Amino acid sequence: MADFVEIFEVGPRDGLQNEPRPIPTSDKIALVDRLSACGFRRIEVASFVSPKWVPQMADGAEVLAGIARPPGVRFAALAPNLKGYQAARAAQVDEVAVFVSASEGFSRANLNCTVAESLDRLAPIAEAARADGMRLRGYVSMVVDCPFDGATPPGAVARVVAALRDLGCAEVSLGDTVGRATPEGFDAMLAAVLTEMPATGLAAHCHDTAGRALSVIDAALERGLRVVDASVGGLGGCPYAPGAAGNVATETVAAHLAARGYRTGLDMVALAEAAAFARRLRG
């Protein structure tokens, strides 16, 4: 049987967080419900971050309260600190995602603190998650290149991945946040990271600024990774990462994986409908 690759859908969070126009909660709920019908195992649907920093994500609790919860689909949300974790847990998420940067410049821009401080801030989340039996996903941003600091040394990524592993993250997603990675650069970074975390615990998170996301994903598959983050309709970007284009589009990744002989378990017709809906939300 063909190898399975999970597409971790991030559109309702990484996609919509960057939209300048306020998107009604009911539209966010409708998008998630459409995605739930596509066959995803996991969908990231909200962020419990400061509403002063990312106003678009201020309605996370309402989104989680309003969506259908079909069996077999797990819903994740982002949390930057214990306050965010507690709000995510109260909203009954299945998985909490924490996020740090491999570069100091982006850490300051996105989290208003150093990389070391951001990891310290995660300790109380890790403790609470252990007590609650909550699955933790970690994100590392700027794994190859940073608009503030330039090239990211692979060793710096490996150190942050090791710290997230030690905090209890079951999975770490490696973010080419500004979409500047080459397959060779991503591969060199993976060579360092794989000394700290096995491929089964890693995901590739690509933005498609330079049109190389699919070849970067191929490099990740070559190294044994089997989870790929993507955003329906190619929605996305990061409000604190200048130059970051949208995430690689889910439907593009799904078609690419199918053409390469991988199974994703996704219903391509339902996915095309969800992508058309997502693009309409952009206005």
* Residue 80: contacted member of Mg ion, ligand HMG, none (CB under 5 to 8 Å, by partner type): ligand HMG
Interface region with ligand HMG, contact rule CB under 6 A, candidates 49-57, 122-130, 146-154, 196-204:
49-57
Distance between CA atoms of residues 200 and 215, nearest Å:
20
Q: Which stretch binds ligand HMG (CB under 6 A): 73-81, 147-155, 157-165, 250-258?
A: 73-81
Out of 56, 103, 152, 177, point to the residue binding ligand HMG (CB under 6 A). 177
- With beta carbons less than 8 A apart as the criterion, state whether 149 and 103 touch: yes
83 binding ligand HMG? (CB under 6 A): yes
Q: Is 50 in the site for ligand HMG (CB under 6 A)?
A: yes
Return the ∠ at Cα 30 (arms to 172 and 240), rounded to 5°.
45
Token duo for residue 127: 């403790």
205 contacts ligand HMG (rule: CB under 6 A): yes
Nearer to ligand HMG among residue 19 and residue 273 (C-beta): 19
Report the residue from 1, 21, 52, 72 that binds ligand HMG according to the rule CB under 6 A: 52
Q: Which two tokens stand for residue 48?
A: 């419990």
Q: How far apart are CA 15 and CA 17, in angstroms?
A: 6
String of contacts with ligand HMG for each residue 96-125, x by CB under 6 A = ---x----------xxx-------------
Catalytic status, residue 238: yes
Is residue 139 a contact residue for ligand HMG (CB under 6 A)? yes
DSSP labels for 134-153? -EEEEEEE-SSEETTTEEPP
**Sites for ligand HMG among residues 218-257 (CB under 6 A):** 238, 240
Q: Which residues contact 133 (CB under 8 A, 6 or more apart)?
A: none
Nearer to ligand HMG, 54 or 126 (CB): 54
Q: CA 243 to CA 64: how far, in whole Å?
A: 30
Residue 25 binding target from ligand HMG, Mg ion, none, CB below 5 to 8 Å by type: none
Pairing verdict, β 150-151 and 145-146: antiparallel
Does 152 sit near ligand HMG (CB under 6 A)? no
Placement of tokens 């060779």 in the chain: 184
C-alpha span between 136 and 167 (Å, rounded): 9
Record the tokens describing residue 7, joined without a space. 């597409």
Q: Rounded to the nearest whole angstrom, what is the least distance from the CB of residue 199 to ligand HMG in the complex? A: 19
Q: What is the DSSP letter of 120?
A: H
Is position 21 an interface residue for ligand HMG (rule: CB under 6 A)?
no
> What does the alpha-carbon distance between residue 186 and residue 238 come to, in Å, rounded to a whole number?
20
The binding site for ligand HMG (CB under 6 A) comprises 14, 17, 47-54, 78, 80-81, 83-84, 87, 99, 110-112, 139, 141, 175, 177, 205, 238, 240
